[in-house]
Structure 1
Amino acid sequence: MPRFAANLTMMYNEHAFLDRFAAAARDGFEAVEFLFPYEYAAADLKARLDEHGLTQALFNAPPGDWAAGERGIASLPGREDEFRRSVDTALEYARVLGNDKLHVMAGLIRPEQSRAAHRDVYLKNLAYAAKTAQADGITVVIEPINTRDIPGFFLNRQDDAQAICAEVGAANLKVQFDLYHCQIVEGDLAVKLKRDMPRVGHIQIAGVPERHEPDIGEVNYPYLFSLIDELGYDGWIGCEYRPRAGTSAGLGWIRPYVKARG
């Protein structure tokens, strides 16, 4: 039976951020994820999790200058020291919040830049991140993202992400399989889940193409949820979508699963 985590960056935007934990718990969520925790003290976020009986499933390491358009620094030549500091910062938060998955964003590449140089930096940085996170029992995940939502993002395909993980060779480095991004770039979701599940560390969902609830659009999510169960995935499935209207009003799709879990 799938276990869902509310993405508090995209969902419950009708509430202030710190109030979204309570809203998610009221709707039956047992876990949450979000992009970045760094505007808040880790202890304050942990208090919200504990108050509402929620598990922290995932968050992202610092991505560089997000406001200026940066979308990660893991593959950026010349930013290696900053990347290492970002991993240290993220692990400090994870030790408090209790999540065992940490997403490291690859970053952007311009057409004139060397993909080989970026890839070399990316592999070295991921090896460092995985080794550092291992002491805390944390799995580092990397996510292929479509270039419609983030033009120029370095990592776009599932097979490339899998190859990178295999080359680094760390047991705690896995792929964050976002079905929304994969459908836009590649499609053939069921086949890729069957092929890649052993090294999938986290799953995320959204309707395609609008990125609303997963009960509309071109993806048959009930079928995929059943397949994910059959393949033995027991992690959280992050609901990283933008609700069409009110978040709670759009949760009809999840209620049968919440009821089945009791």
Structure 2
Amino acid sequence: MARRTRLYEGKAKILYEGPEPGTLIQYFKDDATAFNAEKKAELKGKGVLNNRISEHVFTALEGIGIPTHFIRSLNMREQLVRAVEIIPIEVVVRNVAAGSMCKRLGLEEGTPLPRSIVEYYYKSDELGDPMVTEEHITAFGWAYLDEMDEIVASSLRINDFLLGLFAGVGIKLVDFKLEFGRFYVDDDMRIILADEISPDNCRLWDIKTGEKLDKDRFRRDLGGEIEAYQEVARRLGVLPSADIRELAAHPKAKQADS
């Protein structure tokens, strides 16, 4: 593999310089973290599964007119994506009470919400990604009001689409996290969806049994994380048998940087 420049490494992904101006290569790692990286592990094959699932979802979203950073898949672990200026806000859309919402509000996990609720969190590992309001976001200049209007509208459209997509394969979309970025072409700027959509940043429950098919299996020491991710990929029809064999034979792809 030719040497290339590593630009950024996060908890679950690495970004490399892309082959063309304005592009990046997004590499999906096998690393799993929880509780602001206080809990860590390597789940062999997770990166392959998240790459496949996210590619499938982003392609489907592009099909309904949601602009994203995804350009194309390069291999089992890498995507070619557009370089964007990430807005430092995590947008969480909730359909069912779970996770931190239950702790904050004393709700029983699994309680259906009267309507989908959109929350915002400031992206800061040092501060533990604190929950913020639109007032904070606009007052501190993290995003402008018109940008927030676009982000909220896109988030709710994405939610409507994903509810149907997952329900069609017997999965309940409980909640999920989105990130958006500013994409520049000459003097034109657009807000587009970035990051990933996978069991790493979605809560996905089997509709019939309530079995968790997401990262909560790692957070709560339930075990069977990779099997759960594989089940999501299998139901979506995005994991050919050849990839399963490759996962077993070569769980970790080679990386190169300069």
**Structure with the largest fraction of helix:** 1
* Fold equivalence (TM over 0.5): no
TM-score, L = length of structure 1: 0.26
TM-score, L = length of structure 2: 0.27
**Structure with the largest fraction of strand:** 2
